[in-house]
Amino acid sequence: MNIHTIFGAGGAVSDQLLPVLLNNKENVRLVSRTVKQIDGVESVAADATNYQQTLQAIKGSSVVYLLIGLPYDIRVWRAQWPVIMTNVINACKETGAKLIFFDNVYMYGKVNGWMTEETPFNPCSKKGEVRAGIAGQLLQETRAGNLQAMIARSADFYGPVGFKTSVPNLLVIQNLLKGKKSQWLGSADQPHSITYVPDAAKALYLLANKPEAFGETWHLPTSSELITGRRFIQQAAALMQKPDGVTVIPNWMLSLAALFNVTMKELKEMNYQNEYPYLFSSEKFNKAFGFTPTSYEEGIKETVAWALKNNQ
């Protein structure tokens, strides 16, 4: 029996991937630190920093999706990410499971032009150094032929996924729902690619079912349209019949907030991504799978509809 195992159940990407798997009649195992029972799905409690728990959770899996999201704190990342990656790699090697690691773009650092799968690792942040380390570890094991694995990389994301892990959802959609002015980090006028999470979830399943996709890095489907924070806000505000004004949160304000708030301190380190063009290319995936990413117009429309329906 083939089992698709999701490490990081309950997260934004997991919640979009689960219905894709179920609609395709796959056997699914959800793994998280605390079990949440869902009809027709196996749920397992495991701590990925514990090897034996990780191994037991992976046994019998055909594909493992590593979708874990750790608290946005560099101290936690440094302590836990290398352990988690080592445990998951070793468990997949021991059981023969294939591994798909859902990654971000922090390891690229500041990029002049479009980010592609060939963009070299050049982190300019502490969190980027951690991500470069664990991605490099997986690539080394894969190239050595020790396991079948791939990296599936996403830009910043948005969609019907809540507000905890999507900055556009949090600063734009949620503020508009509350009758507040939208906010944006860095510059509202720099182009900034944003991945629509339902597209990313569909892509993960397509990749899992293409044997020749393993051993490579893939950028998940993201619209190639150039969109700015200001344009994102204008489209969302028009749909919600709200004012489209924006308060830009500059670096100096983040620096001040960082003195009193750990999350603001962590965001400040990454704010270079919002001050310069942030261009993410998924041309390799689009061509390989004949996939057309959701347009920003349609993605924002769906996200707003979800938010209004759920009054999040």
The tens digit of pLDDT for each residue in 244-272 reads 999 998 777 777 765 666 666 777 788 88
Tell me which CATH homologous superfamily contains domain 3-156+194-219: NAD(P)-binding Rossmann-like Domain (3.40.50.720)
| Sign (positive or negative) of CA dihedral 64, 140, 77, 161 | negative
Contact 67, 18 (CB under 8 A): no
Tens of pLDDT, residue by residue over 100-112, are 999 999 999 999 9
As a whole-number percent, the residues of the chain with pLDDT over 70 amount to 96
**102 forms bridges with which residues in the sheet?**
152
State the Cα–Cα distance between residues 249 and 247, nearest whole angstrom.
6
What mean pLDDT do residues 296-312 have? 92
E strands, the chain, are 3-7, 27-32, 42-45, 63-66, 98-103, 114-115, 149-153, 157-158, 182-185, 195-196, 217-219, 246-249, 279-280
What is the per-residue pLDDT across 138-160, written as a single tens digit (0 to 9) for each? 999 999 999 999 999 999 999 99
Mean pLDDT in residue range 304-308 = 95
Counting DSSP H helices and E strands in the chain, the numbers are 13, 13
- Flag whether pLDDT at 312 surpasses 60: no
Q: How far is CA 35 from the centre of its chain?
A: 22
The CATH number of domain 159-193+224-310 is 3.90.25.10: yes
Name the average pLDDT for the chain: 94
| Contact yes or no for 154/200 (Cβ under 8 A) | yes
Same fold, 3-156+194-219 and 159-193+224-310: no
Between 263 and 296, name the one with better pLDDT.
Answer: 296
What pLDDT was estimated at residue 249? Answer: 83
pTM of the model: 0.95
pLDDT at residue 284 in the model: 98
Q: For position 233, what pLDDT does the model report?
A: 97
**In the chain, where the domains are located:** 3-156+194-219, 159-193+224-310
Residue 204 confidence class, pLDDT cut points 50, 70, 90: very high
Instruction: Pick the more confident residue, 206 or 167.
Output: 206
| Residue 261 confidence (pLDDT) | 67
- The stretch 275-293 carries a mean pLDDT of 97
At 291, give phi and psi (nearest 5°): -105, 135
Per-residue pLDDT tens over the stretch 160-193: 998 888 989 999 999 999 999 999 998 999 999 9
Q: Which amino acid is at 304?
A: V
d(Cα 132, Cα 134) in Å, to the nearest integer? 6
